[in-house]
Structure 1
Amino acid sequence: MYSKNINDVYKELNTSEKGLTINEVNKRLNIYDKNIIKEKKKENIFLRFLKQFKDIMIIILLVVALLLYIYGVLYSHEYTDTIVILVVVFINAITGFIQEEKANSVIDGLKKYEASTSKVKRNGKIDIADTSTLVPGDIIFLEAGDMVPADSRIITCENLKVDESPLTGESIPVIKTNETLNNNLIIQDQKNMIFLSSNITNGKCMAVVINTGMNTEIGKIASSLNKISNIETPLQIKIKEISKNLTIIVFIIMIFIFILALFNHYSFLEIIMLCSSLAVAAIPEGLPAVITISLSIGISNLAKKKTIVKQMQAVETLGSVDIICSDKTGTITQNKMTVKEEVIYDKEMLNYICALCNEGLIINNEYKGDPTETSLYGYLYKNNIDALKVRKENKRIIDAPFDSERKLSTTINKIGDKTYLLCKGSIDNLLNKCTYINNNKITNKDINDIKDSEKKLASKALRVLGFAYKEINDIPQNSTEVINEENNLNFAGLLGMIDPPRDTVIKSVEMCKNAGIRPIMITGDSLDTASAIAKEIGIIDNDNEGILGNALDNYTDEELEQIVKNYSVYARVNPEHKERIVKAWQKNGKVVAMTGDGVNDAPAIKDAHVGVGMGITGTDVTKSAADIVLMDDSFSTIIIAVEEGRRIYNNIRNNIVYSLSSNFAEIFTIIIGLLSGNTILLPIYILFIDLVTDSVPSICLAFEKSEKNIMSQKPRGLNKSLFTPFIKSCFISSAIVETLFVCLTYFISLKLYNNEIAMSLALLSMVVQEIIYSISCRNLKELVFKQGLFSNKAMNIGLAIILLIELLVFMTPLGKIISVESIKPSLVLIVFLINSSSFIIYELLKPLLKKVFKD
Structure 2
Amino acid sequence: MSVDHEHSSTPARAVRPRWTLPQPWTRTVPDLLAAAGTDAEAGLTGQEAARRLADHGPNELRGAAPVPLWRRVATQFQEPLVYLLLAAVVVSVVAWAVEGARGVPVDAVVIAVVVLLNGVIGLVQESRADTAVAALQQLTTATSTVLRDGRPLVVAAADLVPGDVLVLAEGDAVGADARLSAATGLKVSEASLTGESAAVTKEVDALVGTVALGDRVNMVFKGTAVVQGGGRAVVTATGMDTEMGAIAEMLEATVEDPSPLQQDIARVSTMLGITVVVIAVVVMAVTFLVNDVSSLSDVVTVLLLGVSLAVAAVPEGLPAILSVVLAIGVQRMARRNAIVKKLHSVETLGSASVIASDKTGTLTKNEMTIERVVTASGEVRLTGAGYRPEGSALVHGRPVEQADAGLLTEARMVLAGGSLSNNAWLEDVDGEVVVHGDPTEAAFLAALPKLPGARETVARYRRRGEVPFTSERKMMSTLQLRADDRAVRVVTKGAPDVLLSRCTGLQVGDDVVGLTEDRRRQALADVEALSAQAFRTLGVAYAEVAEPDPHRALEDSVEQGLVYVGTAGIIDPPRPEVADAVREAHRAGIRVLMITGDHPGTAARIATDLGIITEGEGAVTGPALDELDGPGLTETTRRSSVYARVAPQHKLAIVDALQADGHVVAMTGDGVNDAPALKSADIGIAMGITGTEVTKQAARMILADDDFATIVAAVRQGRTIFENIKKFLRYLLSSNMGEVATVFFGVVLASVIGLTDASAEGVVVPLLATQILWINLVTDSTPALAMGVDPEVDDVMARRPRDPGERIIDGRMWSGILMIGLVMGVLTLLTIDVFLPGGLVEGADSLEVARTAGFTTLVLAQLFNVFNSRSETTSAFRHLFANRWLWGAVALSAALQVAVVHVPFLQVAFGTADLDLRHWLLCLAMASGVLWFDELRKLVLRRRG
| TM surpasses 0.5 | yes
The yes-or-no answer on 1:398 pairing with 2:465 is: yes
Superposition deviation, residue 581 in structure 1: 4.8
Tell me which of 592, 595, 599 is aligned to 2:668: 595
Q: Which amino acid is 1:655 matched to? A: F
Superposition deviation, residue 591 in structure 1: 3.6
Q: How has the CA–CA distance of structure 1 residues 553 and 257 changed in structure 2, closer, same or farther, with 3 Å as cutoff?
A: farther
Cα contact 1:151–1:217 (8 A) shared by 2: no
Gaps of 5+ in 1: 1-21, 120-128, 135-146, 155-163, 167-185, 197-208
In the alignment, which residue of structure 2 is the partner of 1:802? Answer: 893
Q: Which amino acid is 1:767 matched to? A: V
The yes-or-no answer on 1:428 pairing with 2:454 is: no
Greater CA drift, 573-582 or 234-243 = 573-582
Q: Which amino acid is 1:423 matched to? A: T
Tell me which of 432, 444, 461 is aligned to 1:376: 444
Tell me which of 249, 253, 258 is aligned to 2:275: 249
In the alignment, which residue of structure 2 is the partner of 1:463? Answer: 536
Cα contact 1:213–1:219 (8 A) shared by 2: no
Cα contact 1:745–1:761 (8 A) shared by 2: yes
2:741 partner SS: helix
In the alignment, which residue of structure 2 is the partner of 1:358? Answer: 422
Whole-angstrom CA distance in 1 between matches of 2:183 and 2:514: 52
1:206-221 correspondence runs (5 A)? 212-213=220-221, 217-218=225-226
Q: How has the CA–CA distance of structure 1 residues 849 and 539 changed in structure 2, closer, same or farther, with 3 Å as cutoff?
A: closer
In the alignment, which residue of structure 1 is the partner of 2:209? Answer: none
The yes-or-no answer on 1:811 pairing with 2:902 is: yes
Q: How has the CA–CA distance of structure 1 residues 647 and 402 changed in structure 2, closer, same or farther, with 3 Å as cutoff?
A: same
In the alignment, which residue of structure 2 is the partner of 1:760? Answer: 852
The yes-or-no answer on 1:26 pairing with 2:90 is: no
Whole-angstrom CA distance in 2 between matches of 1:674 and 1:552: 72
Whole-angstrom CA distance in 1 between matches of 2:501 and 2:703: 47
1:415-814 correspondence runs (5 A)? 415=482, 416-417=484-485, 418-438=487-507, 439-477=512-550, 481-541=554-614, 546-548=620-622, 551=625, 564-571=637-644, 578=651, 581-582=654-655, 585-598=658-671, 601=674, 605=678, 608-619=681-692, 628-675=701-748, 676=750, 678-702=764-788, 704-707=790-793, 709-749=795-835, 751=837, 752=844, 755-785=847-877, 787=878, 789-790=880-881, 792-814=883-905
1:122-141 correspondence runs (5 A)? none
Q: Which amino acid is 1:745 matched to? A: T
Q: How has the CA–CA distance of structure 1 residues 89 and 841 changed in structure 2, closer, same or farther, with 3 Å as cutoff?
A: same
Superposition deviation, residue 411 in structure 1: 0.9
Q: How has the CA–CA distance of structure 1 residues 436 and 656 changed in structure 2, closer, same or farther, with 3 Å as cutoff?
A: same
Tell me which of 337, 352, 377 is aligned to 2:368: 337
Q: Which amino acid is 1:381 matched to? A: P
Q: How has the CA–CA distance of structure 1 residues 114 and 282 changed in structure 2, closer, same or farther, with 3 Å as cutoff?
A: farther
Whole-angstrom CA distance in 1 between matches of 2:563 and 2:124: 77
* 1:425-445 deviation per Cα after TM superposition (whole angstroms, max 9, x unaligned): 123332221111232222222
Greater CA drift, 835-844 or 582-591 = 582-591
* 1:379-407 deviation per Cα after TM superposition (whole angstroms, max 9, x unaligned): 223324564x6544310111111122222
Q: How has the CA–CA distance of structure 1 residues 63 and 24 changed in structure 2, closer, same or farther, with 3 Å as cutoff?
A: closer
Number of matched pairs:
760
Whole-angstrom CA distance in 1 between matches of 2:85 and 2:602: 63
Cα contact 2:145–2:166 (8 A) shared by 1: no
Whole-angstrom CA distance in 2 between matches of 1:472 and 1:297: 68
Q: How has the CA–CA distance of structure 1 residues 686 and 329 changed in structure 2, closer, same or farther, with 3 Å as cutoff?
A: farther
Cα contact 2:793–2:879 (8 A) shared by 1: no
Cα contact 2:364–2:573 (8 A) shared by 1: yes
Superposition deviation, residue 149 in structure 1: 6.7
Q: Give the TM-score normalised by the residue count of structure 1.
A: 0.75
1:47-66 correspondence runs (5 A)? 59-66=79-86
* 1:442-500 deviation per Cα after TM superposition (whole angstroms, max 9, x unaligned): 22223333333333333444322121111112325467543122111111112222222
Q: How has the CA–CA distance of structure 1 residues 552 and 698 changed in structure 2, closer, same or farther, with 3 Å as cutoff?
A: farther
Superposition deviation, residue 764 in structure 1: 0.7
Cα contact 2:348–2:804 (8 A) shared by 1: no
Superposition deviation, residue 753 in structure 1: 5.0
Whole-angstrom CA distance in 2 between matches of 1:217 and 1:574: 19
Whole-angstrom CA distance in 2 between matches of 1:839 and 1:40: 54
Q: Which amino acid is 2:307 matched to? A: S
Whole-angstrom CA distance in 2 between matches of 1:455 and 1:549: 23
Cα contact 1:701–1:795 (8 A) shared by 2: yes
2:470 partner SS: coil
Cα contact 2:600–2:619 (8 A) shared by 1: no
Greater CA drift, 43-52 or 541-550 = 43-52
In the alignment, which residue of structure 2 is the partner of 1:325? Answer: 356
Q: Give the TM-score normalised by the residue count of structure 2.
A: 0.69
1:742 partner SS: helix
Cα contact 2:132–2:327 (8 A) shared by 1: no
Superposition deviation, residue 506 in structure 1: 1.5
Cα contact 2:72–2:123 (8 A) shared by 1: no
In the alignment, which residue of structure 2 is the partner of 1:122? Answer: none
Gaps of 5+ in 2: 1-21, 30-35, 41-57, 97-107, 153-162, 169-179, 190-197, 205-216, 229-242, 377-409, 751-762, 838-843
Superposition deviation, residue 735 in structure 1: 0.8
Q: Which amino acid is 2:441 matched to? A: E
In the alignment, which residue of structure 2 is the partner of 1:3? Answer: none
2:899 partner SS: helix
The yes-or-no answer on 1:282 pairing with 2:282 is: no
Cα contact 1:65–1:85 (8 A) shared by 2: no
Identity %, equivalent residues: 29
Greater CA drift, 80-89 or 264-273 = 264-273
Q: Which amino acid is 1:410 matched to? A: S
The yes-or-no answer on 1:44 pairing with 2:64 is: yes
Greater CA drift, 264-273 or 807-816 = 264-273
Greater CA drift, 747-756 or 377-386 = 747-756
Cα contact 1:69–1:82 (8 A) shared by 2: no
Q: Which amino acid is 2:593 matched to? A: I
Structure with higher helix content? 1
Whole-angstrom CA distance in 2 between matches of 1:779 and 1:656: 11
Whole-angstrom CA distance in 1 between matches of 2:346 and 2:453: 46
* 1:208-236 deviation per Cα after TM superposition (whole angstroms, max 9, x unaligned): x898447964389x99x999997976644
1:435 partner SS: strand
Superposition deviation, residue 357 in structure 1: 0.8
Superposition deviation, residue 522 in structure 1: 3.4
2:559 partner SS: coil
Superposition deviation, residue 335 in structure 1: 0.9
* 1:297-326 deviation per Cα after TM superposition (whole angstroms, max 9, x unaligned): 645655665555654455565443222232
Q: How has the CA–CA distance of structure 1 residues 90 and 75 changed in structure 2, closer, same or farther, with 3 Å as cutoff?
A: farther
Q: Which amino acid is 2:819 matched to? A: S
Q: How has the CA–CA distance of structure 1 residues 426 and 133 changed in structure 2, closer, same or farther, with 3 Å as cutoff?
A: closer
Superposition deviation, residue 280 in structure 1: 1.3
Q: How has the CA–CA distance of structure 1 residues 633 and 232 changed in structure 2, closer, same or farther, with 3 Å as cutoff?
A: farther
Flag the structure with larger Rg.
2
Cα contact 2:77–2:83 (8 A) shared by 1: no
Higher RCO (C-alpha under 8 Å, 6+ residues apart): 1
Whole-angstrom CA distance in 2 between matches of 1:390 and 1:817: 93
Whole-angstrom CA distance in 2 between matches of 1:148 and 1:385: 52
In the alignment, which residue of structure 1 is the partner of 2:921? Answer: 829
Cα contact 1:413–1:421 (8 A) shared by 2: yes
